[in-house]
Amino acid sequence: MKREGLGEFIAFLVTIFFITLVAIEAFDRKYYYSPGSAIACMFLASVPIIFRHYRLIIFPLWMAIWYFFLLWLHCFGILHDYYGRIFWFDELTHTMAIGLLASVIFLLLIIINHHSRSVRLPPLTYPLFIIIFAMGLGVTWEVLEFVLDVTIDTPMQYSLADSVSDMMTDLGGGLLAASACLIYLLFLDPDQISDALQADRLIKRFQRKYHPGT
């Protein structure tokens, strides 16, 4: 476990280094949207590290690396305008992001199923919940993009085709991730997965806040 923590920290440092390079290059080009995005991504990159530090939840190393790579890819794509120039770049980042979110949802559902007395999810219902929650988050992102475009004039939604293709990608990414999670469940016991996440502290906090006395 310590080795995984070290690996995650090294991956975090590498990500910060590469995102900093992107930010510096963007400053050089006087393209100020990109460094803003890079700084936001640096803060976001620290989330798994903070969760691990406070022992709230320990995400698998592959998931953390996937997350870091995605943040860097997003910053890099904005700087070089890949979102505008390469038609499949947006689809790629959306699919990867929704796949990652779907995996996080899968782990959270396993934790809820493991720790809550009032919830029992049969394995075959996981894909359904993964897809609907992933799509819910995908729709939230589209609404946020539209609101930001209208209020502070950001260039996030190019056209109707772009928004629809984002939603189709979210649906496709959710379906892919749900299938992968189902295969994952064939080889690993949900209780083992839940134990590896070490989310006891997070659950205790949650129970203290929402179900005091239990």
CB 106, CB 181: distance < 8 Å: yes
Phi, psi (rounded to 5 degrees) for 206: -60, -45
Binding-site member from 50, 124, 152, 183 for another protein (CB under 8 A): 124
* One residue of 54, 168, 179, 205 binding another protein per CB under 8 A: 168
- Determine the Cα–Cα distance for residues 174 and 138; give it in Å rounded to an integer: 10
Task: Report residue 125 as tokens.
Answer: 């219902």
**Residues in 22-61 at the binding interface with another protein, rule: CB under 8 A:** none
Say whether residue 172 binds another protein (CB under 8 A). Answer: no
Q: Does 87 bind another protein (CB under 8 A)?
A: no
Q: Considering only 70-78, 82-90, 115-123, 180-188, which stretch makes contact with another protein by CB under 8 A?
A: 115-123
**What are the distances in angstroms from CA 38 to CA 13, 43, 69, 104, 112?**
14, 9, 13, 23, 33
Q: Which of 56, 167, 185, 193 binds another protein (CB under 8 A)?
A: 167
H/E element, 56: none
- The yes or no reply on residue 206 touching another protein (CB under 8 A) is no
* Cβ burial, residue 68 (10 Å; 0-12/13-18/19+): buried
146 binding another protein? (CB under 8 A)? yes
Question: Can residue 207 be called a binding residue for another protein (CB under 8 A)?
Answer: no
Which residues in this chain contact another protein in the complex, by CB under 8 A? Answer: 112, 116, 118-122, 124-125, 128-129, 131-133, 135-136, 138-140, 142-143, 146-147, 157, 159-164, 167-168, 170-171
